[in-house]
């Protein structure tokens, strides 16, 4: 059997839940959180794209006013993702710390940074849109067309903010992929897939900034590269978890190297 095949096959041995119940719980929580993001994020995006009409401020404003509840659910979905990302950063840090404490910390920080940018960008633009289209009177100096234009401006700004948090997310995935690949307690191929997902997000963010005419291509790249990696990693954590023997060995090595 080749070395690579051995490396993949090794961790597939079913972990013994009685020996490391906390570890097993931790990996299940990580998988569940990852799966939650996998489902909630595209649904939130779908809500936005069903209501926002690129370039047509009046239609966008009419849609958001008419479907305010749906729009608010979209915002709630994004807020949930922000919270889940922060929690996931902590869980993955704890899970991957035995491989490299500094890299695991960097990966977690990148993920938290992504969540912060997402909160500051996506959520803020959503809230500002609601203010622009609301009856609060704070924008009474603007006429209806101007308020509509403002709402569309916030929504179109969000399209670009996605690319900004994409940088941090890409970094987080690349580092997590490296950690998983090196870990020995998770299959190497999931690490490679995660790193590929990171490359996808990086290509999308840089690509759209540098070659906006090819934005459709970049979006396809991220879809093709990111979905398999993130889904498989989430399902592996949820159903198989980590190899407790190798995880303990890695944790011991990490403790010794600290001493």
Residue 169 CA to residue 107 CA, distance in Å, equals 9
- 20/48 with CB nearer another protein: 48
Q: Does 135 bind another protein (CB under 8 A)?
A: no
Residue 218's contacts (CB-CB under 8 Å, 6 or more residues apart) are 203, 204, 207, 208, 211
| Angle (deg, nearest 10), helices 144-183 and 68-96 | 20
Between residue 151 and residue 180, which ones bind another protein under the rule CB under 8 A?
Answer: none
Q: Does 58 bind another protein (CB under 8 A)?
A: yes
How far apart are CB 234 and another protein at their closest, in Å?
9
The CA–CA distances, whole Å, from 98 to 7, 73, 110, 246 equal: 18, 39, 18, 10
CB 227 within 8 A of CB 191: no
CB 177 within 8 A of CB 192: yes
Between residue 194 and residue 223, which ones bind another protein under the rule CB under 8 A?
Answer: 212-213, 215-216, 219-220, 223
Contact range with another protein by CB under 8 A, out of 60-68, 87-95, 133-141, 167-175: 60-68
Between residue 69 and residue 98, which ones bind another protein under the rule CB under 8 A?
Answer: 70
What separation, in Å, do the N-terminal and C-terminal C-alpha atoms of the chain show? Answer: 36
CB 85 within 8 A of CB 37: yes
Taken in order 86, 26, 174, 212, the sign of the CA dihedral is negative
- 105/238 with CB nearer another protein: 238
How far apart are CB 197 and another protein at their closest, in Å?
12
- Exactly one of 9, 46, 83, 127 binds another protein (CB under 8 A); which one? 46
Q: Does 12 bind another protein (CB under 8 A)?
A: no
Q: Does 63 bind another protein (CB under 8 A)?
A: yes
How far apart are CB 60 and another protein at their closest, in Å?
9
Residue 118 CA to residue 75 CA, distance in Å, equals 11
Q: Does 248 bind another protein (CB under 8 A)?
A: no
- 185/218 with CB nearer another protein: 218
Chain contacts with another protein (rule: CB under 8 A): 35, 38-39, 42-43, 45-46, 49-51, 53-56, 58-59, 62-63, 65-67, 70, 144-145, 212-213, 215-216, 219-220, 223, 227, 231, 235, 238-239
């Amino acid at each position: 059997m080749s070395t690579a095949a051995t490396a993949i096959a090794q961790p597939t041995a079913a972990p013994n839940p009685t020996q490391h119940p906390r570890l097993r719980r931790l990996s299940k929580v990580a998988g569940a959180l990852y799966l939650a993001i996998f489902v909630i994020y595209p649904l939130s995006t779908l809500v936005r794209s069903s209501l926002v009409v690129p370039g047509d401020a009046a239609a966008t404003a009419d849609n958001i006013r008419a479907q305010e509840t749906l729009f608010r659910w979209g915002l709630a979905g994004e807020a949930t993702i922000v919270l889940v990302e922060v929690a996931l950063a902590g869980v993955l840090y704890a899970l991957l710390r035995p491989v490299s404490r500094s890299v695991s910390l960097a990966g977690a920080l990148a993920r938290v940074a992504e969540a912060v940018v997402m909160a500051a960008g996506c959520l803020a633009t959503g809230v500002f849109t609601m203010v622009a289209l609301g009856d609060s009177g704070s924008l009474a100096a603007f006429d209806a067309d101007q308020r509509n234009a403002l709402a569309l401006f916030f929504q179109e700004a969000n399209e670009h903010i996605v690319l900004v948090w994409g940088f941090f997310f890409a970094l987080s995935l690349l580092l997590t992929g490296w950690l998983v690949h090196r870990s020995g307690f998770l299959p190497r191929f999931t690490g490679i897939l995660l790193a590929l997902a990171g490359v996808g997000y990086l290509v999308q963010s840089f690509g759209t900034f540098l070659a906006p005419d090819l934005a459709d291509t970049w979006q396809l790249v991220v879809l093709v590269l990111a979905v398999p990696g993130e889904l498989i990693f989430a399902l592996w954590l949820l159903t198989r978890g980590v190899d407790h023997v190798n995880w303990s060995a890695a944790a011991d090595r990490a403790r010794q190297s600290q001493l």
